[in-house]
Amino acid sequence: MKKNRIKDLSIEEIDRIVEMAWEDRTTFDSIKAQFGLSEGEVIKLMRREMKPSSWRMWRARVQGRKTKHAHQRGEDVDRFRCSRQRPINNNKISKR
């Protein structure tokens, strides 16, 4: 039986996933590594948490974006966030 991982998330975790999904350089693989959610589950979560207009804008932005998929990135991209981005305190991946 498949467990619904989205319902088990806290408000803070949902906020962090939404923030990571909006970031251009954060891959779906990074979200899966940190929270265990697949790309499809992230899309469902974003649809549920966002206003329809914001959802359409995010979806258009993400579709076809190479930086959101690790296997499509160039080898020169070795980080998951922009070097100019402010540090994120609750990110487990950055503390490895």
Q: Where are the domains of the chain?
A: 1-67
What pLDDT was estimated at residue 56?
92
The one-character DSSP state at 36 is: -
pLDDT tens per residue, range 7-52: 788 899 999 999 989 887 788 888 888 899 998 999 999 999 999 9
Measure the CA–CA gap between 73 and 27, rounded to whole angstroms: 10
Q: Does residue 73 register a pLDDT over 70?
A: no
- With beta carbons less than 8 A apart as the criterion, state whether 3 and 36 touch: no
Residue type, 48: R
Query: In the chain, which residue ranges form alpha helices assigned H by DSSP?
Result: 11-22, 28-35, 39-49, 52-62
- Sign of the torsion formed by the C-alpha atoms of 33, 14, 48 and 7: positive
